[in-house]
């Protein structure tokens, strides 16, 4: 009986600790909700439908329906949403072909002794801190784009609206490229793992029918790994949507207009949050901070949804790949 | 789906299979040439993708190692930021990572042991464990800036800790937690069932079995997870801005004392175009990349060795 | 009835259709086949037998260059089909597989419909001009694989729903649809139940009317039932070859005798 007692204590101890992660996340959401509450009530639906974000720090405190805010302040987050989506979209557009290309090279093209070190290097990309990416973007990529790529694009592709217009050094394009580099390891390594799970029997069956390597990849391997690949892309998207430091270092500060071209300075939700806490604390009514907290809730909702979807897809990809093994 | 039945031999050509053998058919051969060309082009495109992806990596590594190495000097490594040195930031980063590891490891390892060993006993444990797994996945996908805000409001303001190593370390530990939990659970699950059954058959209690059998066997994997999560926390910036603050001096205590860290140096000094500032940023980047790559490599090589077991 | 409408393969009748001369095969430094000299005749079933690990699967995979991509694998020697050196420069390993089809040990249908499985090869190689022709290729291939009657009403169903034996015949139909001359079979019945096995065996005997069949088997009774000529392989070397009945009744090599009496189960 004494033994059982010890087991119970041990189990309870680990259980309480395991519960701590639940506690952390619930309290984090509670803190965000509690602090966002004045903004949710005061700004209502206009928070999501307006593109006018103006904390109006020179205003005076007024009280409407028991909630304090500054006169003339307005909080609409459309610009942040648009910038977040735009920079992530650029990242995905660039990262998907590059990441899949790397994955195909690693599983289908390269011999093992070449694939192993390249795999290793692609994983190294994931180990570089995001602030270092931001630094590199600031001193290498940004100036290069500004001096070489953007003038060329603006001159030759200006008939396409997003390529026209005045260029600027920190802009959507540079942030999108940095984000792409950051999420390529995610797309490449998960896709590679999924593609490598294609049963040898299916590959050989197709090869024996006289398919070229690319045909085996396209007709057998890619369909087989499809769910997992989509999952990896969605996971990369989640990372891009929430990435903070690299984007904050490349975002031109303070410009809040809807982006019209690739070169526009911008603010994503995360970059705005990291750059403006100090400013928000100067609002004596607290509404500015509250609005930022509501912005944080929006970011939380977006990233959690995307991440959960990605994990479900990847899980399903793994599950179906173990099911699909031909049983006799 | 049905193929309409035709009588054999009724069609003008008779049996299609009996036609000229396909590998001699010029049409098929021509098409094959195109297919082979497509194959070669795809190979070229994938090689191009590899080059395009590795170029930034090599550029980043080369640039920061080169310029970082040029920036190495005794005063920069031993001086305070006040005198354009990094000593306080290096100490601060080590302090923050140590604190977060000290907090995250017991929580994560015990949580992982629960998920691996006790979660399948009854329906309620299963549901609970599922929730923990799901929420820790959610936690690992949560932008760290959000935790920075939460840490600021709760730890810094409400708890009155101020911008401090403890507030920063605690927030970092929450970021590390999901990784530690997950690798602990996976490593323990990898221990073969036979060994557990043998231990139970010898009359060991669950506690004895876990502590003396599965845990030691899983330890290399658990350590790998811990090292990997440390390499993630060493590169964090956003949540620390609002919880650790920054100081030009050495850390002075666990609470109510701002602390410097390397990522902050990069974030701030990268934008200041003077030689002294940039040198400091280069050196910080050099140190950070080195730390996190060494940790990453150690962890991955460890993982690889582990997966061979 | 069926075979009457189909002429035998064109070209002169060769003394030996597939000829292997002084073949050595290696995985890295490990030699798995030593000095193989073999002839396989046209429109016959040739069986390669031997205990597991003797190199028989390697040997059959050399015939359509399936092992080309295996890291470290290389051969020395000469393999010709109708006097064409298949490892020669002018031979494309992908095109070779149109001539030399292959069926594997465990059934490996693609996760498509039955129809799409058979139509897969012809579509890739574009062996038809009109949909009607494709339908006919699918139908004839299924007929030749003795599967048509069982699946003609459910061609759109997933191939994964078929039984193991049906799946294997589907794989045979899939290989036939590309219109090969030679069909390689690597223990095609080893994963099947006895009923399905005998169906496959009947089918193989019928297939030799139109194709040259090389089959790997470790089942002595099966080889005796279906083969015209037999090769006994042991530790990477040819121990004995012979015509079917004599080989089994009167093996000349004591090693073969030992194997046939079941005393050599593995290397």
Predicted confidence (pLDDT) per residue in B155-188, tens digit? 999 999 999 999 999 999 999 999 999 999 999 9
The pLDDT assigned to B309 comes to 46
Same domain for B161 and B253, yes or no, is yes
The answer to whether position B1 is within a domain reads no
The pLDDT assigned to A252 comes to 67
Final residue before a domain boundary, out of B68, B88, B110? B68
Q: Is C208 on the interface with A (CB under 8 A)?
A: no
Tell me the C-alpha distance between A142 and B270, whole Å: 13
The answer to whether position B6 is within a domain reads no
Same domain for B270 and B161, yes or no, is yes
Can you tell me the mean pLDDT for A45-64?
A: 90
Taking a C-beta distance cutoff of 8 angstroms, is the pair A249, B214 a contact? Answer: no
Neighbors of chain C by Cβ distance (3+ pairs < 8 Å): A, B
| Among B125, B294, B139, B113, residue whose Cα is nearest residue B221 | B113
Same domain for B228 and B105, yes or no, is yes
User: Contact C2/B8, CB-based, under 8 Å?
Assistant: yes
Same domain for B59 and B136, yes or no, is no
The pLDDT assigned to C14 comes to 46
The answer to whether position B4 is within a domain reads no
Q: Which residue of C has its CA nearest to B20?
A: C10
The pLDDT assigned to A325 comes to 41
Same domain for B167 and B37, yes or no, is no
Tell me: pLDDT of B300 over 80: no
The answer to whether position B10 is within a domain reads no
Tell me: pLDDT of B9 over 50: no
CA distances from A297 to A31, A45, B146 (A): 10, 14, 8
Tell me: pLDDT of A260 over 80: no
The answer to whether position B206 is within a domain reads yes
**CATH number of the domain to which B236 belongs:** 1.10.3720.10
pLDDT > 90 in chain B, percent: 53
Give pLDDT tens digits for C154-206.
999 999 999 999 999 999 999 999 999 999 999 998 888 888 899 999 999 99
Q: Using 50, 70 and 90 to split pLDDT, how confident is the model at B1?
A: low
Q: Which of helix, strand or coil describes residue C178?
A: coil
Extract long-range pairs of C85-93: CB within 8 Å, 24+ residues apart.
C92/B32, C92/B36, C93/C65, C93/C68
Residues of the domain holding B111: 74-306
Q: Using 50, 70 and 90 to split pLDDT, how confident is the model at A322?
A: low
Q: Which helix (H) or strand (E) holds B184?
A: helix B165-190
Tell me the C-alpha distance between A276 and A264, whole Å: 20
Can you tell me the mean pLDDT for A303-321?
A: 89
Using a CB-CB cut-off of 8 Å, the residues of chain A touching B167 are: none
Can you tell me the mean pLDDT for A119-140?
A: 92
Same domain for B302 and B190, yes or no, is yes
Q: What are the structure tokens assigned to C82, written together?
A: 């109708």
The answer to whether position B96 is within a domain reads yes
Scanning chain A, the segments in alpha helix (DSSP H) are 2-43, 46-49, 78-104, 112-127, 130-136, 142-144, 150-156, 172-196, 200-208, 213-216, 222-242, 245-250, 269-281, 287-323
Interface predicted TM-score (ipTM): 0.90
Domains and CATH numbers, chain A: 79-318 (1.10.3720.10)
Supply the DSSP string of A142-174, one letter for each residue: HHHIIIIIHHHHHHHSTTSGGG-S---SSSHHH
Strands C84-85 and C73-81: antiparallel
The pLDDT assigned to B306 comes to 60
**Count of residues making up chain A:** 328
Can you tell me the mean pLDDT for B22-43?
A: 91
DSSP structural state of residue C161:
G
User: Contact B107/A17, CB-based, under 8 Å?
Assistant: yes
Q: What is the pLDDT along chain C (267 residues), one digit of tens a residue?
A: 333 344 444 444 446 789 999 999 999 999 999 999 999 999 999 999 988 888 999 999 999 999 988 888 999 999 999 888 999 988 999 999 999 999 999 999 999 999 999 999 999 999 988 999 999 999 999 999 999 999 999 999 999 999 999 999 999 999 999 999 999 999 998 888 888 899 999 999 999 999 999 999 988 889 999 999 999 999 999 999 988 888 888 888 888 888 888 777 655
Can you tell me the mean pLDDT for B283-292?
A: 94
The pLDDT assigned to A30 comes to 94
Same domain for B166 and B139, yes or no, is yes
Same domain for B83 and B104, yes or no, is yes
The pLDDT assigned to A177 comes to 95
Give pLDDT tens digits for B116-155.
988 877 888 889 999 999 888 888 889 999 999 999 999 9
The pLDDT assigned to B6 comes to 46
Same domain for B145 and B194, yes or no, is yes
Same domain for B48 and B127, yes or no, is no
The pLDDT assigned to B303 comes to 66
Same domain for B244 and B115, yes or no, is yes
Final residue before a domain boundary, out of B36, B68, B100? B68
Same domain for B216 and B268, yes or no, is yes
Number of domains making up chain B? 2
Q: What are the structure tokens assigned to A204, written together?
A: 């050989």
Q: Which of B43-52, B189-198, C121-130 has the highest mean pLDDT?
A: B43-52
User: Contact C127/B28, CB-based, under 8 Å?
Assistant: yes
The pLDDT assigned to C219 comes to 87
Tell me the C-alpha distance between C48 and C56, whole Å: 6
| Among C24, C43, C44, C48, residue whose Cα is nearest residue C35 | C24
Q: What are the structure tokens assigned to B204, written together?
A: 């060991």
The answer to whether position B7 is within a domain reads no
Using a CB-CB cut-off of 8 Å, the residues of chain C touching B6 are: 136
User: Contact B31/C126, CB-based, under 8 Å?
Assistant: yes
Q: Using 50, 70 and 90 to split pLDDT, how confident is the model at B4?
A: low
Q: Which residue of A has its CA nearest to B239?
A: A274
Q: Using 50, 70 and 90 to split pLDDT, how confident is the model at B194?
A: confident
User: Contact B38/A214, CB-based, under 8 Å?
Assistant: yes
Sheet bearing C237-243, strands edge to edge = C100-103, C182-186, C212-217, C45-49, C229-234, C237-243
Tell me: pLDDT of B259 over 90: yes
The answer to whether position B2 is within a domain reads no
Mutation site, B31, B55, B56, B137, interface A, largest A CB count within 10 A = B56
Tell me: pLDDT of B14 over 50: no
């Amino acid at each position: 009986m004494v033994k059982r007692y010890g087991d119970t204590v041990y189990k309870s101890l680990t259980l309480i600790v395991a519960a701590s992660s639940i506690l952390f996340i619930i309290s984090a959401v509670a803190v965000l909700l509690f602090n966002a509450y004045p903004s949710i009530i005061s700004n209502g639906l206009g928070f999501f439908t307006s593109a006018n974000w103006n904390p109006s720090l020179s205003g005076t405190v007024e009280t409407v329906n028991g909630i304090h805010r500054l006169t003339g302040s307005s909080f609409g987050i459309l610009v942040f949403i648009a910038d977040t989506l735009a920079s992530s979209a650029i990242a995905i557009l660039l990262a998907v072909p590059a990441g899949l290309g790397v994955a195909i090279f690693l599983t289908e093209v390269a011999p093992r002794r070449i694939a192993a070190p390249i795999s290793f290097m692609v994983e190294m990309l994931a180990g570089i801190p995001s602030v270092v990416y931001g630094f590199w973007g600031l001193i290498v990529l940004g100036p290069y784009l500004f001096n070489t790529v953007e003038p060329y694009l603006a001159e030759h592709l200006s008939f396409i609206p997003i390529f026209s217009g005045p260029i600027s050094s920190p802009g959507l394009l540079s942030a999108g490229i940095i984000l792409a580099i950051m999420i390529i390891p995610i797309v490449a390594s998960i896709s590679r793992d999924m593609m490598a799970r294609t049963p040898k029997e299916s590959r050989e069956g197709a090869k024996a029918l006289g398919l070229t390597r690319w045909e085996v990849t396209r007709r057998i391997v890619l369909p087989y790994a499809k769910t997992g690949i989509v999952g990896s892309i969605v996971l990369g998207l989640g990372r891009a949507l929430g990435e903070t430091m690299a984007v904050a270092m490349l975002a031109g500060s303070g410009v809040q207009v809807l982006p019209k071209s690739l070169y526009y300075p911008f603010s994503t939700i995360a970059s705005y949050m990291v750059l403006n806490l100090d400013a928000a604390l100067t609002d004596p009514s607290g509404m500015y901070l509250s609005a930022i907290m509501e912005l944080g809730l929006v970011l939380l909702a977006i990233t959690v949804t995307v991440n959960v979807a990605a994990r479900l897809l990847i899980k399903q990809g793994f599950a179906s790949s173990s099911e699909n093994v031909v049983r006799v | 789906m049905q193929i309409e039945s035709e009588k054999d031999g009724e069609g003008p050509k008779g049996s299609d299979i009996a036609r000229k053998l396909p590998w001699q058919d010029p049409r098929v051969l021509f098409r094959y040439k195109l297919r082979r060309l497509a194959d070669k082009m795809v190979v070229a495109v994938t090689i191009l993708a590899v080059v395009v992806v590795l170029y930034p990596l090599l550029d980043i590594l080369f640039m920061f190692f080169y310029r970082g190495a040029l920036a190495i000097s005794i005063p920069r490594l031993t001086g305070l930021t006040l005198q354009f040195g990094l000593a306080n930031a290096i100490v601060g980063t080590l302090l923050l990572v140590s604190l977060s590891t000290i907090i995250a490891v017991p929580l994560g390892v015990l949580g992982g042991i629960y998920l691996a060993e006790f979660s399948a006993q009854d329906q309620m444990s299963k549901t609970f464990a599922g929730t923990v797994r799901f929420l820790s996945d959610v936690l690992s996908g949560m932008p760290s800036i959000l935790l920075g805000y939460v840490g600021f409001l709760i730890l810094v303001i409400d708890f009155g800790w101020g911008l401090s190593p403890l507030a920063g370390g605690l927030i970092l530990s929450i970021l590390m937690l999901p990784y530690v939990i997950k690798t602990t659970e996976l490593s323990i699950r990898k221990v073969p069932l036979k060994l557990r059954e043998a231990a139970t058959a010898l009359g060991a209690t669950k506690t004895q079995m876990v502590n003396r059998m599965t845990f030691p066997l899983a330890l290399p994997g658990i350590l790998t997870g811990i090292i990997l999560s440390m390499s993630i926390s060493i590169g964090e910036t956003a949540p620390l801005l609002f919880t650790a603050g920054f100081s030009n001096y050495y850390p002075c205590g666990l609470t109510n004392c701002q602390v410097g860290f390397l990522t902050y140096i990069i974030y701030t000094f990268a934008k200041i175009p003077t030689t002294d500032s940039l040198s400091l940023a280069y050196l910080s980047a050099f140190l950070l990349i080195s730390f996190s790559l060494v940790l990453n490599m150690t962890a991955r090589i460890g993982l690889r060795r582990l997966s061979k077991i | 009835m069926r075979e009457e409408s189909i002429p035998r393969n064109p070209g002169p009748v060769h003394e030996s259709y597939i000829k292997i001369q002084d073949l050595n095969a290696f995985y890295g430094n490990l030699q798995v086949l030593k000095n193989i000299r073999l002839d396989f005749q046209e429109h016959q079933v040739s069986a390669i037998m031997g205990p597991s690990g003797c190199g028989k699967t390697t040997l059959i995979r050399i015939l359509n260059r399936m092992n080309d991509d295996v890291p470290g694998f290389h051969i020395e020697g000469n393999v010709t089909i109708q006097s064409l050196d298949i490892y020669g420069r002018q031979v494309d390993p992908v095109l070779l597989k149109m001539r030399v089809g292959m069926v594997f040990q465990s059934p490996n249908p693609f996760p498509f419909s039955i129809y799409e499985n058979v139509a897969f090869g012809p579509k890739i190689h574009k062996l038809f001009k009109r949909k009607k022709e494709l339908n006919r290729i699918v139908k004839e291939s299924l007929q030749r694989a003795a599967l048509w009657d069982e699946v003609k009403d459910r061609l759109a169903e997933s191939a994964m729903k078929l039984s193991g034996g049906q799946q294997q015949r589907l794989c045979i139909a899939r290989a036939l649809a590309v219109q090969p001359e030679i069909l390689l079979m690597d223990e095609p019945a080893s994963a099947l139940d006895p009923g399905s096995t005998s169906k496959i065996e009947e089918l193989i005997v019928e297939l030799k009317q139109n194709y040259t069949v090389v089959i790997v088997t470790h089942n002595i009774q099966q080889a005796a039932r279906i083969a015209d000529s037999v090769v006994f392989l042991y530790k990477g070397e040819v121990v004995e070859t012979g015509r079917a009945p004599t080989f089994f009744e009167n093996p000349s090599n004591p090693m073969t005798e030992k194997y046939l009496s079941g005393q050599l189960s593995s290397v």
